[in-house]
Every structure is written in structure tokens, then in C-alpha cells.
Chain A
């Protein structure tokens, strides 16, 4: 067990300045009551988008991401992990945005109902709920020189991709992908409006190789979870010889993903999922 002085030292010394965005200006967002209304009393257009999404992904049951911290012991003064099921952004010139992920089921708080139900797992683990965000660009027009792209990054390699806003364009992303908004240029002279659904895609087939199971929040359980998740990750990434993978690739079998096979082989950005021989 780590001693208190050491703990405090680590806490202080390892805290990078500004990591929590101290001093950064807040940005424009739809008022919480209106966001809640989108979920509680969804207008027809929201229902239509959801219905289309369900039709597009028939292999999943799709729902709003719940409060993943529900049930977890929470120290007084600590903030909730949960955000609303919708986020509406309107970045304007001068705003500042940070790299972040929307949610990561491998880091949900111990003792939560979510953890009791699904255990710790890497987003995309076969048979487990896949956390997905749907972003829709809503401006009637948006020129490339107005910037405000959505940026995605592989932190390990420092490379990524960008998506320029276009009217009615949609971006589906795994919620654990590192991303951020870029600020509109001065020439935009307007906010860039977007609406984001925070979703959970629950596979209708529930077989889950590498089942993690329910875990408590104690340190021993956490260590066990580390070991078990390590197993899952190895199976998913490196340890299964290519020759033994079923036709269609390991990807299609062992992972839940929004990348539908009929859309073709995904472009791989950043560290490759598996090493291929170049001999």
C-alpha cells in the first residue's frame, strides 16, 4: 500500500499544469434543460435520426448512454462523470478546446452499476456494449476556410485525421477515440452548430469471448481486472496468429465496431492494429 506522503507527492508532482482546463474560457452549449428535453421529449427530427440509425445498424440495440457512474461511491465534492445524452456545441472564433474522449468503459468507476453489469472492458470488445457518439453538422453552409474541423488523433504516434464540417454530414465515432473540436476561423463570423448523440450500441448477440465479468472496486479486483483485460487485448491485437484467423479477418469476428463490412476495409491511422510481415 502506498503511504500518504508518497501518494500526495505523486499527486502533486505528476499533475500536469492546465490539464483540467483551468483558466480556459467556457464555450457555447445548449442549455441543459433543452438538452434534457431532447432526450425526454424528443422532437420528430431527433426520433427520425435515431430510427435511421437503428435501421443502419440492425445488429445492435441502440440507446442513450446512461449515467455510467450510477451506483459508484462518490466522494463529497467530486463531480459526476455523467453528462447528458446529448451535447450541442457552437464553437466560435477565439474558443479553446482540448483533446478528450467522450467515454471509455475501461475506466468507469468501481462500484458502478455499469461495472457490475458489464465489467471492465475495452470499447469494442465482442459482446459488450459499444459506446458510440454521433455528431451531426447542422449549418446550412460551411466553407473550408472557416475551419472548425473535428480532429482525431492517435496519441501513441501523434498522427490523426480531420473532418471538415459540411451541411448534414454525420460522424460516428467510438467514444474512446481521442478527438477535439478546432476553433472556427475569424472569417467564419458565426458559430459552427453541431449536435452529438451519446449512444450505447448493445450487440444483439451476446457471446463474449474474453468475458471480463463483474468486478468489485477494491484494489485486488482492479489488479485482476488488469490481468483479465490484458488477456482480452492480446487476443484482440497480437497473440492470435494471422493464419488462424477466420475468413474476413479477426476484426469482423472479435470486435464490435461501427465500421460496417460493406463500407470496405477501414483506413488504419496510427499504430497498426497488428504487425504485418514485409518480407
Chain B
């Protein structure tokens, strides 16, 4: 928790410093360009931590992840963003011992878990690199199938996200590049529970620009 508080404080400090730095004024009669942008991310991701118990594990994988982001780029170094994200966490199949009317039996269980997130936070553009850190509410869904019986459970939790992008191709007003993300989910009032990584392609479109 202390590390998370430190992270948030550092992000806030970064934003505050940017606010206090005056934009270059000399000879700048022209106002700086501002833009509303929409971003799309599509990639692959899966659970990074905690490590899985591999005992009797049959298969395990992550899945496709997506994100739709709106951001406002103003004259400041820091830009705010709002995001709707789908985060794959894990899918796996394993043999488990369960109780049956005839006693304990080994059965196959296939489970998957994913999360929908609403995330806000600051971002920073440094040349053709982009960094973002956010905090959000995540609806974590667990779908289980144990011995043929299915069940789906959902729980809302707090989460944190960090992303780094390299926008390598920038045909104005678009930009396309690669992106790496990490997401940490935290259950209410307790420590970090799960963290995921994602890697994929990202695209940016400045759908509104003004000065």
C-alpha cells in the first residue's frame, strides 16, 4: 500500500510540476495546438502475478485485450485521459479433486477470468513516446466450470494501470505504434491481488484540433 501511495504521489507531483511550468512565450503569438484524441489498443495479455500453481495444470493462457481511450492534449506536458478497457487475466484447465456422492473424485475444471475497467489518469507525450498511468474501477469476472457445472461471479475492485507506447508511424492526424501495459488489481482495503501485462498495437486519431 505504501508503494502504491508513493506511485500516486509521484504521478500527482509530476502533474503539479508540469502545471507550474510556463509554456514557452517568446515570439509565440500563435497559441499552442490543442486536441481531443481517441485511441484504440488491441493486443494480447495475461496474468503476470501471482504465479499459478502448476500442479495438475492441463493448459493455461491469457487472451486478447482491448481499450478505447479519450484524451485531451492541451498546452501542458501532462494530458488527462479516460479509458474503457477489457483486460484478459487468465484461462486455464486443471485436474482437481472434488466431492461427489460416491466420494472424492478427480475431475477436470476449466476456468477463466477477465476484467472490464473504467480508468482515468494523466499521460505524457515525449517525442513519439507516450506514457500513461491511471486508476480505475474494474469489474472482475470469474467464470468457472468444475466437473461440468458452470458459474460466473463478478466483483468490482480498484485497479491501477501503467502504459508505455512508441508511436512509430504518424500520418497526421493519426499515429500508430506499439504499446505495453501493466495492470494491478486491488481488492478493497487489502493489498495488490493480481497484476497483468498486455502488449499490442495502438492507434491515435486527433478527431478535434483547435488553438
To the question of whether A and B form a pair in one complex, the answer is no
